[in-house]
């Protein structure tokens, strides 16, 4: 309508581009852009989906920006001490003179460090939670603390955590834990990390490291200082003087209180009585509680708060935004509900090898992300090397994660968050992973001959694979 062309002309143009569409089908953003440009129009997207992006960025003028606390996720192998570390920090860093300690788990908590600086910790440790949020488009974590037990070694989930943090471009600090134990050998850990091209500071590298005992609380304060140092380098800023935007950390229905959501304010300040929209839900903030179960009136940037008043439970990782105009807020929520209904549970479309040809034709495909899983180390390395060597001037092949073993749910989540294809050699997905991949629209390519894998990826990159419609 805006372009004043008939639907037949639009369909014709689409067909000319090799895209078969019917009249009542939604086109994705790329196609809309391309088709409009064919008619001489430039598209500006102001839709309900991601129109709020700019509110998260530091686009405000310098003087409105104030430093904000870093938001930290703790990751690492099971039993290496993530929970112990979160527990120790939670219980020890209660600001002196403050009434009550942290009394409830709301999904995140904020602590004040001696010099008046703050750090916010996400209280669900692990890279699965981290990447699940990313898969929904949430950019929450500023710094990842990777916990490795000094009496153990760099383990499969340590590697996963590192890949997940790297894929998200989040800086890492290594906390070498359990140094109180007999047999603790931090040097061995640093050596193993160095074999992965991760040099800690002590070894002349760029990654900060700290030896700690989470159980005894040994050196945890030094770790916190290093987090603050990293945060300073990142120069994290936000503007507290505008309407709040942020991300849902968790949400549920509480018998007595209605829908309860923990949100992390990422920019602006959230106030009691504010009208917020998150996904297809909205409502006025009836009450805000902090992790000490105290009512608060306002939550500045990097503050986690529990809020009451939404008319539903948005998914973790969903963004929220404050609206001034009630009619507009409702309209946005209703439109989103409508999209959800129309599309059902169909997930966003992710890259597949067949798709590459089409994306190449659209001219904006630059990087092919792969996750490589195999039955033995040798084949994983061989496959990963050969596939990376397929990089051309046009397309860079990036291996986001590689490991030995079955394809897990966390691999699929990572593929979702990084828009990657999973290439498997002599291994299969677990049944949960297969289901998740199906729901998320993530492609898993399984091979038993390395040559075939390489040939197929190569032809895909040349746009030679026939799309399956």
Q: Does 136 bind ligand GDP (CB under 6 A)?
A: no
76 is in an annotated binding site: yes
Q: Does 210 bind ligand GDP (CB under 6 A)?
A: no
77 is in an annotated binding site: yes
The DSSP letter of residue 148 is E
Q: Does 429 bind ligand GDP (CB under 6 A)?
A: no
177 is in an annotated binding site: yes
CB of 224 to ligand GDP, least distance (A): 15
CB of 88 to ligand GDP, least distance (A): 8
Q: Which is nearer to ligand GDP, 58 or 87 (CB)?
A: 87
CB of 150 to ligand GDP, least distance (A): 9
* Beta-sheet pairing, 367-374 with 108-112: unpaired
In three-state secondary structure terms, 402 is strand
Q: Which two tokens stand for residue 453?
A: 């894998």
Q: Does 78 bind ligand GDP (CB under 6 A)?
A: yes
| CB contact at 8 A, 368 and 356 | yes
78 is in an annotated binding site: yes
Instruction: Kindly tell me which residue out of 83, 166, 391, 406 binds ligand GDP, with binding defined by CB under 6 A.
Output: 83
Instruction: Kindly tell me which residue out of 159, 215, 242, 335 binds ligand GDP, with binding defined by CB under 6 A.
Output: 215
Q: Which is nearer to ligand GDP, 125 or 429 (CB)?
A: 125
Q: Does 82 bind ligand GDP (CB under 6 A)?
A: yes
Spatial separation of the C-alpha atoms in residues 395 and 278, rounded to whole Å: 36
399 is in an annotated binding site: no
Helices 156-167, 409-418: inter-axial angle, 10-degree rounding: 10
Q: Which residues pair with 119 in a beta bridge?
A: 111
Return the closest-CA partner of residue 194 out of 223, 174, 177. Answer: 174
The 3-class SS string of 234-291 reads HCCEECCCCECEEEEEEEEEECCCEEEEEEEEEECEEECCCEEEECCEEEECCEEECC
Q: Does 246 bind ligand GDP (CB under 6 A)?
A: no
Spatial separation of the C-alpha atoms in residues 54 and 167, rounded to whole Å: 22
Q: Does 410 bind ligand GDP (CB under 6 A)?
A: no
* Beta-sheet pairing, 319-323 with 245-254: antiparallel
66 is in an annotated binding site: no
Instruction: Kindly tell me which residue out of 213, 239, 266, 418 binds ligand GDP, with binding defined by CB under 6 A.
Output: 213
Stretch that binds ligand GDP, among 36-44, 78-86, 391-399, 418-426 (CB under 6 A): 78-86
Spatial separation of the C-alpha atoms in residues 240 and 223, rounded to whole Å: 28
Q: Which is nearer to ligand GDP, 215 or 445 (CB)?
A: 215
Q: Does 79 bind ligand GDP (CB under 6 A)?
A: yes
Total residues at interface with ligand GDP (CB under 6 A) = 16
In three-state secondary structure terms, 343 is helix
CB of 176 to ligand GDP, least distance (A): 10
Q: Which is nearer to ligand GDP, 180 or 462 (CB)?
A: 180
Q: State the DSSP string of 28-67.
A: PHHHHHHHHHHTT-------TTTTTHHHHSS-S-GGG-EE
Question: Which positions ≥6 away from 192 have C-beta within 8 Å?
Answer: 153, 154
Helix (H) or strand (E) segment spanning residue 13? helix 7-16
Q: Which is nearer to ligand GDP, 85 or 424 (CB)?
A: 85
Neighbours of 4 (CB within 10 A): 6
Spatial separation of the C-alpha atoms in residues 39 and 264, rounded to whole Å: 43
Stretch that binds ligand GDP, among 74-82, 116-124, 375-383, 451-459 (CB under 6 A): 74-82
Instruction: Kindly tell me which residue out of 70, 81, 186, 304 binds ligand GDP, with binding defined by CB under 6 A.
Output: 81
Q: Give the contact letters, 159-198, x = binds to ligand GDP (CB under 6 A), - = no.
A: ------------------xx-xx-----------------
The 3-class SS string of 283-316 reads EECCEEECCCCCECCEECCCCEEEEECCCCCCCC
Instruction: Show binding-site residues for GTP.
Output: 76-83, 123-127, 177-180
Q: Enumerate binding residues for ligand GDP (CB under 6 A).
A: 76, 78-84, 125, 177-178, 180-181, 213-215
Instruction: Show binding-site residues.
Output: 76-83, 123-127, 177-180
């Amino acid at each position: 309508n805006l372009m004043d062309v008939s639907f037949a002309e639009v369909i014709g143009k689409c067909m000319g581009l090799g895209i078969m569409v019917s009249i009542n089908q939604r086109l994705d953003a790329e196609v809309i852009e391309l088709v409009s440009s064919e008619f001489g129009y430039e598209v500006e997207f102001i839709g309900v989906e991601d129109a709020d992006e700019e509110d998260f960025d530091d686009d405000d003028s310098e003087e409105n920006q104030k430093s904000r606390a870093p938001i930290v996720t703790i990751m690492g192998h099971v039993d290496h001490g993530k929970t112990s570390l979160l527990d120790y920090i939670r219980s020890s860093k209660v600001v002196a003179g403050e009434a009550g300690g942290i009394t409830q788990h709301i999904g995140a908590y904020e602590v004040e460090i001696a010099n008046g600086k703050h750090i916010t910790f996400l209280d669900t440790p692990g890279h699965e939670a981290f990447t699940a949020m990313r898969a929904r488009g949430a950019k929450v974590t500023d710094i990842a603390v990777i916990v490795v037990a000094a009496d153990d070694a760099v383990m499969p989930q340590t590697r996963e955590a590192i890949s997940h943090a790297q894929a998200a471009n989040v800086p890492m600090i290594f906390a070498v834990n359990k140094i109180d134990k007999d047999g603790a050998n931090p040097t061995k850990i640093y050596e193993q990390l160095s074999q992965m091209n991760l040099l800690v500071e002590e070894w002349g590298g760029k990654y900060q490291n700290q030896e700690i005992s989470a159980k005894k609380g040994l050196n945890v304060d030094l770790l916190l200082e290093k987090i603050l140092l990293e945060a300073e380098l990142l120069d994290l800023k936000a503007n507290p003087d505008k309407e709040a935007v942020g991300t849902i950390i968790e949400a549920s229905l509480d018998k007595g209180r209605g829908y309860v959501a923990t949100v992390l304010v990422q920019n602006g300040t959230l106030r009691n009585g504010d009208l917020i929209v998150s996904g297809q839900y909205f409502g006025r903030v009836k009450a805000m509680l902090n992790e000490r179960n105290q009512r608060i009136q306002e939550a500045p940037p990097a503050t986690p708060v529990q809020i009451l008043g939404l008319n539903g439970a948005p998914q973790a990782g969903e963004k929220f935004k404050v609206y001034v105009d009630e009619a507009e807020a409702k309209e946005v929520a209703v439109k989103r509900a409508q999209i959800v209904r129309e599309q059902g549970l169909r997930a966003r479309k992710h890259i597949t090898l067949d798709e590459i040809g089409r994306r190449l034709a659209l001219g904006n495909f630059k990087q092919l992300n792969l996750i490589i899983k195999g039955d033995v180390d040798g084949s994983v390395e061989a496959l990963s090397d050969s596939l990376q060597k397929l990089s051309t001037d046009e397309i860079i092949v990036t291996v986001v994660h590689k490991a030995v073993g079955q394809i897990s749910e966390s691999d699929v989540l990572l593929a979702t968050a990084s828009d990657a294809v999973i290439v498997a050699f002599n291994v299969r997905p677990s049944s949960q992973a297969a289901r998740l991949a199906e729901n998320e629209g993530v492609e898993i390519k399984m091979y038993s001959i390395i040559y075939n894998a390489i040939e197929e990826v190569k032809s895909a990159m040349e746009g030679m694979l026939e799309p399956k419609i």
